[in-house]
Every structure is written in structure tokens, then in C-alpha cells.
């Protein structure tokens, strides 16, 4: 596992106003899934939260690091972003170009360009970057192994040293990457028919065809202990190292479970009154885009964090 986020970097409340007009959120976001907000975590450079601003004609990226606003260059339109350990990546609108930024110095690298093959489903794990080809669903990864080209995916997600996806042909989940936990997760999901899937550091959760939310993998802190629910209660999911969060479809409220084993859990009284459009997780905290005013609020084990 990579260096966890130091809790000393999280000492104040951050309430970040990204914009009053953020792009419509993607259905599923996390440590490693496509979104319009992303978290990059690191031991030596502070946590960075980035968002796509959709107010103007240019849907540019803006980040927040140590209370500072950083405008990301190149100032172009992006359709999704996803964050990892010390960096984040953005897919340019249209899907023909993929750029990644180091969150220490915000230097940019273009890692993909094509005039013919669009990418979608950008998902960054701890260090791997994966995306699918829009027309075929074939997944490609950078700084990581790519899965078999015979696998066509509906969606993919990236966790700590593994990535998984839902196969187009039968909605079964398949993982790749070669980590030990990946085999555990894959085996535990078995032949479940999946509609959505999100990976955390060493677990994954998803909604099955019958509407049940299931979580599989490592359970050191209760991150697999999904609270009782009815079919299709949950929409967006966000998974960190030892916790899981889900947005309730009917009212946008967030439910979290897991956290440190010695504590009562990650379930946050803090967010009890707030409705969210989408949520995304860092290793030990979660951020959400509020329905009320589209600002980003982050919270952890013990309440709001920044
Ligand atoms: C997750 O839990 C494990 C086992 O208790 C612990 O070693 C690790 O530091 C935790 N990770 C985070 C980010 O809290
Ligand atoms: C980005 O570009 C748009 C138009 O292309 C311009 O209006 C805007 O001011 C630029 N923003 C930054 C931060 O450079
Ligand atoms: C980002 O840049 C810093 C400073 O140059 C370097 O130490 C670090 O390894 C880079 N991080 C990534 C994820 O490339
Ligand atoms: C993933 O790709 C499929 C089609 O290839 C698309 O319908 C879906 O919206 C994409 N999801 C995300 C989160 O980008
Ligand atoms: C999954 O399906 C295959 C073939 O349909 C079957 O052989 C296998 O036992 C099933 N696995 C589980 C865990 O149900
Ligand atoms: C729905 O599917 C899950 C996983 O396949 C299973 O555990 C659960 O019992 C099913 N629920 C219903 C109501 O059929
Ligand atoms: C939730 O709302 C109730 C009533 O408006 C208020 O008393 C309570 O303090 C709020 N809780 C939080 C955590 O904001
Ligand atoms: C947006 O909502 C948050 C949470 O309710 C609040 O703290 C913040 O002041 C609001 N910001 C604006 C600009 O209304």
C-alpha cells in the first residue's frame, strides 16, 4: 500500500466553491473512477482537490491545494478527471487527448493523443491510469498492465494496484493488475451480474442487477459491511482505503461505513443534512459536490476536513 495521507495535513474545514455551474456529475465516482471532481493525495505534498468548471465555454480545471487556487494549464475543456498518488489526469472534451499533472509542481504530460480513437471511462488508481476506447470498450492502461483486448468493458475502475471492469457481454466483473487482493475481490464477486463498480484501496463495491449493493475484498475496518438497504437505494459510490460511502438516490444524503477498526465507524453525523450530486474519496476522507450550491465539502473519520 502507498503512504497514507497524513492526518496532520487535514486540520481545517475546507469548503470550496468550484462554481455555480459544474458539469453534470457522472454516475459513479471514487478513488479511481471518472468524475468531474478528483482528489490527489500524497505524503509530501498536500492533498489537492480538483474540479472541472463548466460555467464558461471552456470547461477548464481548477485545483485547490493548501488553501490556494491553482488554475490548470493548458486552459482547455475537459470532460472527466481522476486523481491518484501525487498526480491527477484529465480527459479533454471529445476524448482524443489525455493529460496528467504532477500535483507537486503542476507540470503537465500528455500521455495519449489520437485523431481517430476516442477514450472514455478515465480511472486513476494509486499510480495506474486506465481508460477504455469509446467505440469498443477495450481498456488501456499506462504505468500498468492492460487487460486482455478480448475483454470489452461497460465501465472500469482503478484501486490500489488493481483495476476492474464490468464485461459488456454478461455484466460479470473482471480484474487485472496482478495484485494479491485483486484475485480475492474477483473470486468473491464470482458470477454476480453487475451494473456499477467502484474500487477502493483494497476493496470494491457495486450495484448488482437486482439492485443490491455488494462490497468485496479486504475488510479490516468494516468497509465491506454495507448497511441494510432496499433495491436501488444507492447511486454514486466513493471508496477510500478503509471506508465506503454511497449517495442515497432518493434524497442525495450520504451514508458511509468502515473507517478505523477501533472507532464506531466512518458514518458521519457531519453530513447528515447535506445532499450531494456526486462524491469522490481520498484514502481516508471523502469529498462531495453539494446539491444546494455546488461547493465541495470534504469530511473524514472525525468530521469535516481540509
Ligand atoms: C487502513 O487500515 C489499515 C489496517 O488497520 C491501516 O494499516 C491503514 O493505515 C489504514 N489506512 C488508512 C488510510 O487509514
Ligand atoms: C481560459 O480561456 C478562456 C477562453 O479561452 C478565458 O476566458 C479564461 O479567462 C481563461 N482562464 C484562465 C484561468 O486562463
Ligand atoms: C512530481 O514531481 C516531483 C518533483 O519534481 C517528484 O519528486 C515526484 O516524483 C513527481 N510525482 C509524480 C507522481 O510523478
Ligand atoms: C463509460 O463508457 C461507456 C460507453 O463506452 C459510457 O456509456 C459511459 O458513460 C462511460 N462512463 C463513464 C463514467 O465515463
Ligand atoms: C460461475 O459460472 C461458471 C460457469 O457458468 C461456473 O462454472 C462457476 O462455478 C460459477 N462460479 C460461481 C462462483 O458461482
Ligand atoms: C441480489 O444479488 C446478490 C448478489 O448476487 C445476492 O446476494 C442477493 O441475495 C440478491 N438479492 C435478491 C433480493 O435477490
Ligand atoms: C441538521 O439540521 C438540524 C435541524 O435543522 C440541526 O439542528 C443540526 O444541527 C444539523 N446537523 C448538522 C450536523 O449540521
Ligand atoms: C454552500 O454550502 C455550504 C454548506 O452548506 C456552506 O457552508 C457555504 O457557505 C455555502 N456557500 C455559498 C457560497 O453559499
Query: Does the beta carbon of 253 sit less than 6 angstroms from any atom of ligand 4?
Result: no
Atom of ligand 2 nearest to the CA of 71: 13
User: Considering only CA atoms, which residue is closest to atom 5 of ligand 5?
Assistant: 191
Cell 471506508 -> residue: 243
Structural domain boundaries in the chain:
37-300
**Phi, psi (rounded to 5 degrees) for 173:** -100, 140
Rounded to whole angstroms, how far apart are CA atoms 128 and 113? 18
Contact partners, residue 150, CB within 8 Å, separation at least 6: none
The per-residue pLDDT string of the chain (306 residues; one tens digit each, 9 = 90 and over) reads 332 322 222 222 233 333 323 333 333 333 445 568 899 988 766 789 999 986 668 899 999 888 889 999 999 999 999 999 999 999 999 999 999 999 999 999 999 999 999 999 999 999 999 999 999 999 999 999 999 999 999 999 999 999 999 999 999 999 999 899 999 999 999 999 999 999 999 999 999 999 999 999 999 999 999 999 999 999 999 999 999 999 999 999 999 999 865 554 455 555 778 999 889 998 888 888 888 887 888 887 655 564
What pTM value is reported for the model?
0.85
- To which H or E segment does residue 189 belong? helix 180-189
Query: Does the beta carbon of 208 sit less than 6 angstroms from any atom of ligand 6?
Result: yes
37-300 is classed CATH 1.20.5.50:
no
Atom of ligand 7 nearest to the CA of 269: 13
Q: Is 205 left (phi over 0), alpha (psi -120 to 50) or beta?
A: beta
* Ligand 8 midpoint to CA 293 (Å): 6
Burial of 150 (0-12, 13-18, 19+ CB in 10 A): exposed
Question: Which of the listed residues 190, 192, 208 should we mutate to test ligand 5's pocket, taking the one with most ligand atoms within 8 A of CB?
Answer: 190
Buried b (16+ CB within 10 A) or exposed e, 252-270: bbbbbbbbbeeeebbbbeb
* Ligand 8 midpoint to CA 290 (Å): 9
Contact partners, residue 302, CB within 8 Å, separation at least 6: none
CB 238 within 8 A of CB 280: yes
Atom of ligand 4 nearest to the CA of 35: 13
Question: Which of the listed residues 200, 242, 263 should we mutate to test ligand 1's pocket, taking the one with most ligand atoms within 8 A of CB?
Answer: 242
Residue 267's pLDDT is: 57
Rounded to whole angstroms, how far apart are CA atoms 277 and 38? 14
Rounded to whole angstroms, how far apart are CA atoms 218 and 200? 10
* Ligand 7 midpoint to CA 275 (Å): 13
Amino acid at each position: 500500500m502507498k503512504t497514507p495521507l497524513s492526518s496532520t495535513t487535514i486540520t481545517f474545514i475546507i469548503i470550496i466553491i468550484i462554481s455555480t455551474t459544474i458539469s453534470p456529475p457522472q454516475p459513479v465516482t471514487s478513488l479511481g473512477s471518472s468524475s468531474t471532481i478528483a482528489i490527489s493525495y500524497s505524503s509530501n505534498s498536500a492533498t489537492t482537490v480538483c474540479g472541472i468548471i463548466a460555467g464558461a465555454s471552456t470547461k477548464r480545471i481548477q485545483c485547490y491545494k493548501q488553501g490556494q487556487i491553482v488554475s490548470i494549464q493548458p486552459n482547455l475543456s475537459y470532460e472527466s478527471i481522476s486523481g491518484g498518488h501525487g498526480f491527477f489526469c484529465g480527459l479533454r472534451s471529445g476524448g482524443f487527448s489525455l493529460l496528467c499533472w504532477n500535483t507537486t509542481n503542476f507540470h503537465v504530460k500528455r500521455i495519449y493523443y489520437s485523431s481517430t480513437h476516442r477514450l472514455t471511462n478515465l480511472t486513476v488508481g494509486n499510480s495506474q491510469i486506465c481508460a477504455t476506447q469509446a467505440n469498443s470498450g477495450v481498456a488501456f492502461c499506462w504505468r500498468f498492465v492492460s487487460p486482455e483486448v478480448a475483454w470489452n468493458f461497460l465501465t472500469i475502475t482503478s484501486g490500489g494496484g488493481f483495476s476492474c471492469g464490468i464485461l459488456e457481454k454478461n455484466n460479470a466483473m473482471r480484474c487485472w493488475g496482478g495484485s494479491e487482493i485483486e484475485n480475492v475481490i474477483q473470486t468473491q464477486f464470482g458470477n454476480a451480474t453487475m451494473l456499477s463498480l467502484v474500487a477502493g484501496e483494497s476493496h470494491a463495491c457495486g450495484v448488482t442487477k437486482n439492485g443490491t449493493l455488494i462490497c468485496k475484498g479486504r475488510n479490516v475496518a468494516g468497509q465491506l459491511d454495507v448497511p441494510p438497504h432496499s433495491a436501488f437505494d444507492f447511486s454514486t459510490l466513493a471508496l477510500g482505503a478503509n471506508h465506503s460511502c454511497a449517495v442515497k438516490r432518493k434524497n442525495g444524503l450520504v451514508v458511509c461505513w468502515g473507517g478505523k477498526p477501533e472507532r464506531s465507524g466512518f458514518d458521519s453525523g457531519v453530513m447528515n443534512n447535506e445532499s450531494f450530486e456526486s462524491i469522490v474519496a481520498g484514502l481516508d476522507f471523502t469529498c462531495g459536490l453539494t446539491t444546494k450550491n455546488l461547493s465541495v465539502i470534504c469530511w473524514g473519520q472525525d468530521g469535516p476536513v481540509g
